[in-house]
Amino acid sequence: MSRLIVISNRVSVPKAAGAAGAQGGLAVALNSALREHRGIWFGWSGQETEEFTGHLNMQRIEGVTTATIDLEPQDIDEYYNGYANRTLWPLFHYRIDLTEYDRNFGEGYERVNARFADSVLPLIEPDDLVWVHDYHLLPLGSMLRQKGVKNRTGLFLHTPWPPTRLLVSLPFHERLVSSMLEYDVIGFQTQEWLESFIHYVSKELGLPITEDGTIDYGGRRIIARAFPIGIDFAEFVEGANSAEAREAHDRLKASVRGRKLMIGVDRLDYSKGLGERFESFGRFLTDNPGQAGDVVLLQIAPPSRGDVASYQQIREDLERKTGHINGAHADVAFVPIRYVNRGYPRSHLAGFYRAADIGLVTPLRDGMNLVAKEFVAAQDPEDPGVLILSQFAGAALQLADALLVNPHSTEHVSETIKRALEMPLAERRQRHEKLLASVCDEDVQHWREEFVAALFGQAEGGGADDTG
């Protein structure tokens, strides 16, 4: 079996089973994938150093070998806070109003990608498969090629891919996308993002797409496909049945004193639609005065990317909205929104999900959204909660038996909350059974196997033999 060299911006391994888990879908998925596969996870340590040395810090944590480098403050500013999170993240989530175009960011991005390439190079052996992740590292494959790496290399993008009309607002967009064409496999979360990418490649770069869907790039065939990511179902269910999960469940249940409970769990990110979610709940409380004291929303939102102004703004905005809605609808012994800015161990999260009558997952745009899948996996099949899911999350394609909503419409979300609260047990069970089958079958192992098979050139629509 070939070794897997996984490369992502951040390396995030939970230090112990009980510790607050890695936050973000990528970290959670990669931890499970790497535990199954012999290999190394390379990336930024999250630490800064005065002067970049490329020194590799190797560790073995919880069955995963990691190799990390520290970055200079200017790198962190221009590459991570800059091009990755002020330019590509908002653009890829259709927010050109928040997208900043600064030449220094682009230069920092290329510099750090080159630093990644130099640092990881000595770790790569001839038979290794190289698997690069996410928008931070789009040009890394081409930089590795320039340094002589001949290995099969793949890229998986955890975010959406924007429509061509938005992407062309990015200066040097052709240069960025062309650099991605040195990968052998390019994976997306959904067919929709894949189609946008293929549209760009054929319309803007003028490249032929072959009948089997591969991209013909100067005689090389590049596999571009959707590989919807899943959760580690078995691990999550085990956690959901643990004593810690039960304890967390009982504590939360007791605290709501027989009221209905809705739960949201998201990084504090404007793409997650938290402001719209709070407004929708406020509307529900106004429109249904009879139920106003009977429903609680628990929103867990650990802060994310706090050096970026748009993240500071969303945080302030949510604090204002929470205060406003609680001020209008709270009573002496009741507060409708519980807003919590911290991380929890995954077993505790599982217990919280299970305690909830409704999972409220309403991003404005999301590559996939693993929280929706975790909510389903954590439910009691005899008495399951209802998942309300944004139609704009990648997960909506697989979880079509959730109650799908347009998160921009506070009326629609408010009415759907009412419908979920009133849903008869038989319908809840029926929907949950279908959702569970999808979450269980298309889990993270399935995702990894499919991607790795494509990387080996074994998947449908292959074309690997043409790759030089």
By annotation, the residues acting in catalysis are 158, 366
**Binding to ligand F6P, residues 105-144 (CB under 6 A):** 134
By the rule CB under 6 A, 450 interacts with ligand F6P: no
State in angstroms the smallest separation of the CB of 159 from ligand ADP: 8
Based on CB atoms, which residue is closest to ligand ADP, 220 or 338? Answer: 338
By the rule CB under 6 A, 450 interacts with ligand ADP: no
By the rule CB under 6 A, 26 interacts with ligand F6P: yes
Candidate segments 19-27, 251-259, 279-287, 330-338, binder of ligand F6P by CB under 6 A: 19-27
Write the secondary structure of the chain as one string of H (helix), E (strand) and C (coil): CCCEEEEEEECCCCCCCCCCCCCCHHHHHHHHHHHHCCEEEEEEEEEECCCCCCCCEEEEECCEEEEEEEECHHHHHHHHHHHHHHHHHHHHCCCCCCCCCCHHHHHHHHHHHHHHHHHHHHHCCCCCEEEEECHHHCCHHHHHHHCCCCCCEEEECCCCCCCHHHHCCCCCHHHHHHHHCCCCEEEECCHHHHHHHHHHHHHCCCCCECCCCCEEECCEEEEEEECCCCCCHHHHHHHHCCHHHHHHHHHHHHHHCCCEEEEEECCECHHHCHHHHHHHHHHHHHHCHHHCCCEEEEEECCECCCCCHHHHHHHHHHHHHHHHHHHHHCECCECCEEEECCCCCHHHHHHHHHHCCEEEECCCCECCCHHHHHHHHHCCCCCCCEEEEECCEHHHHCCCCCEEECCCCHHHHHHHHHHHHHCCHHHHHHHHHHHHHHHHHCCHHHHHHHHHHHHHCCCCCCCHHHCC
Residue 345 structure tokens:
């161990």
Residue of 37, 86, 93, 158 interacting with ligand F6P (CB under 6 A): 158
By the rule CB under 6 A, 370 interacts with ligand ADP: yes
Based on CB atoms, which residue is closest to ligand ADP, 71 or 444? Answer: 444
Residue of 267, 283, 365, 428 interacting with ligand ADP (CB under 6 A): 267
Pairing assessment for the beta strands 215-217 and 220-226 based on DSSP bridges: antiparallel
Q: Taking CB within 5 to 8 Å according to partner kind, which of ligand F6P, ligand ADP, none is near residue 10?
A: ligand F6P
Q: Taking CB within 5 to 8 Å according to partner kind, which of ligand ADP, ligand F6P, none is near residue 305?
A: ligand F6P
Total residues binding ligand ADP (CB under 6 A): 19
By the rule CB under 6 A, 221 interacts with ligand ADP: no
Pairing assessment for the beta strands 220-226 and 260-265 based on DSSP bridges: unpaired
By the rule CB under 6 A, 10 interacts with ligand F6P: yes
Residue of 14, 25, 160, 407 interacting with ligand ADP (CB under 6 A): 25
Distance separating alpha carbons of residues 394 and 195, to the nearest angstrom: 13
By the rule CB under 6 A, 194 interacts with ligand ADP: no
**Binding to ligand ADP, residues 329-348 (CB under 6 A):** 343-344
By the rule CB under 6 A, 356 interacts with ligand ADP: no
Based on CB atoms, which residue is closest to ligand ADP, 28 or 177? Answer: 28
Q: Taking CB within 5 to 8 Å according to partner kind, which of ligand F6P, ligand ADP, none is near residue 249?
A: none
Q: Taking CB within 5 to 8 Å according to partner kind, which of ligand ADP, ligand F6P, none is near residue 343?
A: ligand ADP
Residue of 27, 76, 297, 413 interacting with ligand F6P (CB under 6 A): 27
Residue of 34, 112, 368, 399 interacting with ligand ADP (CB under 6 A): 368
By the rule CB under 6 A, 88 interacts with ligand ADP: no
Q: Which residues bind ligand F6P (CB under 6 A)?
A: 10, 24-27, 134, 158, 304-305
Binding site for ligand ADP (CB under 6 A): 20-21, 23-26, 28, 265, 267, 300, 302, 343-344, 349, 368-371, 374
